[in-house]
């Protein structure tokens, strides 16, 4: 396992999974997204993973014009690495998912390393009333939905954003097979070291949030990639902090943020992304580890630099 010198904290500030009725603290407008991102960076996050939403009703919206309302504000106020999602919102076409990253030419973008079922419909049992009709419809449709990321799709993103823009990827691996998909593209020369894996636990359709799944995926990644990679962990919902802490202990990096969990503790909504970042930073430092600065993250991940982006 590649040992992290310091722990890179990624914060995913809003995502496209949770809906406005689930938490009043979920950032929706460009102003809210910008101020949450800036506060998360001040709290210790060196990478900010970004989605956009429709300011009227909070629906996931991957419109480049909306991104351009908050990206320059974040850039002016922080040194954080900006990472734009290419997952977008469930149900978008690949070109819709790519449009914002194409316009912004960021240092990093997400890249989902395989197709999978992506079941959010169990949340309908937890939340009974919704502010907007789209929310239960969106959650319900995931009962019959495949998050499509074929080999052709992945190749398209690697060539378009990777070769075309010099963007490096947060490679989202939801299950063991996705590591082998990464290895396939390494063999073809389309993924070059150092590369960054985000190991994801607790999405219905992907690997469950059990620590032995994390340990096993780590040992397979070590076998496949040796010292060529850095890895990070995110776990959905109540497993977020436990998995992030375990990742720190095992020599990895961590991701938190309201995209992945709306909570700060048992039954307690997080009031901000920065609260989650501050909590994992405290845990990491209590474990006698240090937190990476944005420039350390840039150097370790061989990013092109914050002055090479299109915003």
Binding positions for Zn ion, rule: CB under 5 A: 15, 85
Q: Residue 17, interface with ligand KMH (CB under 6 A)?
A: yes
Q: Which is nearer to ligand KMH, 111 or 187 (CB)?
A: 111
Q: Residue 239, interface with ligand KMH (CB under 6 A)?
A: no
**What SS3 state is found at 119?**
strand
What residues are paired with 170 via a beta bridge? Answer: 110, 196
Q: Residue 108, interface with ligand KMH (CB under 6 A)?
A: no
Q: Residue 157, interface with ligand KMH (CB under 6 A)?
A: no
Q: Residue 114, interface with ligand KMH (CB under 6 A)?
A: no
CB of 306 to Zn ion, least distance (A): 20
Q: Residue 214, interface with ligand KMH (CB under 6 A)?
A: no
Partner touching 157 among Zn ion, ligand KMH, none, CB below 5 to 8 Å by kind: none
Cβ–Cβ under 8 Å, residues 256 and 217? no
Q: Residue 86, interface with ligand KMH (CB under 6 A)?
A: yes
Cβ–Cβ under 8 Å, residues 225 and 168? no
Cβ–Cβ under 8 Å, residues 121 and 140? yes
Q: Residue 87, interface with ligand KMH (CB under 6 A)?
A: yes
Rounded to 10 deg, the angle between the 94-104 and 64-77 helix axes is 40
Q: Where are the beta strands (DSSP E) in the chain?
A: 9-12, 47-50, 81-84, 108-112, 116-117, 146-147, 168-173, 195-201, 229-235, 253-256, 263-265, 268-269
**What SS3 state is found at 260?**
coil
Running DSSP on this structure, what letter comes out for residue 305?
A: -
Q: Residue 203, interface with ligand KMH (CB under 6 A)?
A: yes
Dmax over CA atoms of the chain, in Å, equals 49
Q: Choose, by CB under 6 A, the member of 85, 115, 181, 245 that binds ligand KMH.
A: 85
CB of 86 to Zn ion, least distance (A): 9
Q: Residue 110, interface with ligand KMH (CB under 6 A)?
A: yes
Q: Choose, by CB under 6 A, the member of 112, 142, 167, 253 that binds ligand KMH.
A: 112
Cα distance between residue 305 and residue 308, in whole Å? 6
- Whether the bond between 194 and the residue before it is cis, its omega within 30 degrees of 0, is yes
Partner touching 142 among ligand KMH, Zn ion, none, CB below 5 to 8 Å by kind: none
Q: Residue 276, interface with ligand KMH (CB under 6 A)?
A: no
Cβ–Cβ under 8 Å, residues 56 and 26? no
Q: Residue 71, interface with ligand KMH (CB under 6 A)?
A: no
CB of 81 to ligand KMH, least distance (A): 15
Query: Which positions lie near ligand KMH, rule CB under 6 A?
Result: 12, 15, 17, 85-87, 110, 112, 172, 200, 203, 259
């Amino acid at each position: 396992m590649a040992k992290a010198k310091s722990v890179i904290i990624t914060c995913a500030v809003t995502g496209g999974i949770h809906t406005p009725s689930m938490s009043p603290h979920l950032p929706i407008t460009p102003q809210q997204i910008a101020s949450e991102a800036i506060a998360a960076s001040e709290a210790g996050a060196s990478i900010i993973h970004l989605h956009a939403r429709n300011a009227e009703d909070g629906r996931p919206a991957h419109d480049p014009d909306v991104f351009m309302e908050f990206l320059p504000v974040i850039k002016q106020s922080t040194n954080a690495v900006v990472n734009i999602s290419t997952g977008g919102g469930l149900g978008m076409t690949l070109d819709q998912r790519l449009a914002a990253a194409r316009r912004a030419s960021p240092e990093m973008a997400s890249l989902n390393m395989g197709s999978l079922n992506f079941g959010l419909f169990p949340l309908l049992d937890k939340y009974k009333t919704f502010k907007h009709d789209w929310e239960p419809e969106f959650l319900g449709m995931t009962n019959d939905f495949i998050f499509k990321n074929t080999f052709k799709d992945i190749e398209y993103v690697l060539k378009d954003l990777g070769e075309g823009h010099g963007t490096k990827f947060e490679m989202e691996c939801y299950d063991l097979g996705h590591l082998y998909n990464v290895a396939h593209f390494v063999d073809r020369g389309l993924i070059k070291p150092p590369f960054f894996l985000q190991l994801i636990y607790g999405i219905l359709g992907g690997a469950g949030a059990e620590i032995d799944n994390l340990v096993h995926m780590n040992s397979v990644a070590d076998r496949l990639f040796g010292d060529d990679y850095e890895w990070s962990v995110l776990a959905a919902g109540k497993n977020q902090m436990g998995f992030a802490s375990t990742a720190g202990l095992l020599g990895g990096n961590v991701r938190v943020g309201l995209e992945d969990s709306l909570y700060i503790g048992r039954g307690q909504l997080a009031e901000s992304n920065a609260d989650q970042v501050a909590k994992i930073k405290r845990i990491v430092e209590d474990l006698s580890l240090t937190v990476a600065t944005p420039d350390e993250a840039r150097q370790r991940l061989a990013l092109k630099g914050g002055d090479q982006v299109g915003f």
